[in-house]
A and B are shown apart, each in its own frame.
Chain A
């Protein structure tokens, strides 16, 4: 589904990623873990087209997507969420999700300003689909609230709802459970599984080990910009190199 091949990235002489390769198979939940500064978010930023990599390539279903812009990638079915919520704060929750349907609609500047019949029909469809996403993520009650006013837990859900609205094939989630309490985290875990069962591949960067071990089918471990290990949750838990990286050498 998604293949990262030998990707490297330097920031002013500091190597954030050094020749990282990953393969993520279709319909799975893949976890990427690693200590702070391991390069997880950098990897996400490269895959989602926000940073250009210095070396290496990224493939989505055999197609080379290296250096494609985010707005192109979403049309190919790749979308992500942000760890530091990047919600459209002054818009309502519903409107946030409606922006997610941008690529699934086509009305232009003129037909929007003139409110042509075709645009109105499309608008109705967008609203309906947006409601479906909100219901799926349990946000229907707060649909008319301003996004900036949401508590963190619902904000994280909105990130996911908005990403789902783009009808992705693969969704990259950057720490969807960070800062959430146990009950909320369980909710996120259920949602992630639900998304996978819809046939969407999930890539998860997360610090909450319990969550990762519980939901992931496959885990890759990054440390200091390199891939340290990969395997099933069981294998990773027993891997001595991984334990060392987390607890310090020796």
Chain B
């Protein structure tokens, strides 16, 4: 991790730590629980899209798979939710690892279509296996996570729970970026053929990072299931995958703090603007087009651009 990132991450963590003291039991704190979950999901997608240059339009479904496995294990079989969370993360990343081999042979448009297809197949399964998932009407009664006598059933507890995982995710992703594997991923993104000449097994590496991305997405799904206690397929469809894509693009491809910004903005906007509810997909669409055309490095790119400008002018 670069020095500036270290300082930024430390400052960020401190802010998060004290946020509930400022916000108290307010609605915004409740929203921040979801910002945490979405930050994890955005980083998971960013590992693929921003680091390795590989698109996935099935992230929402991997998130859903994690949520459903957790829900089924804990609510139907009485498995300890913590254990269930770990088990589902392992299962989901194993699934991603196996399907990753054929899928990540594909590139560009075809990869997008294949991941989209995978996402829709999973979505249909969530809807159709009514005995397991409750189908379109949802899966109620998922138990909360517990730690000793503490039950994670209120916003403050959930906030710390979710952000514990989100901060770890951010930390690991930041470490990864400036490392042997991070460089290899970015090399694959810039020129796969040159990366292979340099000895990077591009295919295997892409599959591994897809599995890692699935692992994080699954954890986020389990956290969602156990904090909200009710899940339905509609949360895990194509639209949500596009929303995640928008978060990553808005925040900036390859930027961990950008992923947080994107997640925060796209989670807060609908809360602030009531009318936004009807306009949301129109705005997502416009954001995707405009940012890719005029600001391809997203908000993170804008920030570093401004920083460079200030630096030059102060000289």
Contacts and interface: CB of A to CB of B under 8 A. Distances in A.
The answer to whether any beta carbons of A and B sit under 8 Å apart in the complex is yes
Interface of A: 48, 50, 69-71, 74-75, 79-80, 82, 86-91, 95, 98-100, 102-103, 105, 107-109, 112-115, 119, 122-123, 126, 162-163, 166
A103 B227 CA distance: 44
10 contacts: A79-B198, A88-B190, A88-B191, A91-B186, A95-B183, A99-B198, A113-B176, A122-B180, A123-B180, A163-B197
Nearest to B188: A88
Interface of B: 1, 172-173, 175-176, 179-184, 186-187, 189-191, 193-202, 208-209, 212
A112 B180 contact: yes
Contacts of B202: 71
B181 A109 contact: yes
B199 A71 contact: yes
B190 A87 contact: yes
A164 to B, nearest CB: 11
A91 B183 contact: yes
B237 to A, nearest CB: 30
Given A99-B198, A102-B199, A126 B186 contact: no
Contacts, number: 101
Contacts of B181: 107-109, 112-113
A74 B182 contact: no
B205 to A, nearest CB: 9
B208 A86 contact: no
A126 to B, nearest CB: 7
A115 B199 contact: no
Contacts of B195: 88, 99
A80 B196 CA distance: 11
Closest 8 CB pairs of A and B: A112-B179, A103-B199, A86-B194, A88-B190, A113-B172, A74-B199, A112-B181, A70-B196
B191 A102 contact: no
A99 B208 contact: no
A80 B197 CA distance: 7
A80 B175 CA distance: 30
Nearest to A162: B198
Most buried by A among B183, B193, B195: B183
Contacts of A88: 186-187, 190-191, 194-195
A238 B208 CA distance: 56
Contacts of A119: 179-180
Interface core residue of A100, A109, A126 (most chain B CB under 10 Å)? A109
A88 B187 CA distance: 6
A50 B193 contact: yes
B180 A126 contact: yes
A99 B190 CA distance: 12
Contacts of A91: 183, 186-187, 190
Contact of B183 (A79, A87, A99, A122): A99
A79 B197 contact: yes
Given A74-B199, A88-B187, A102-B199, A112 B182 contact: yes
Contact of B180 (A70, A86, A90, A107): A107
Contacts of B201: 71
A174 B199 CA distance: 18
Given A87-B190, A90-B186, A109 B208 contact: yes
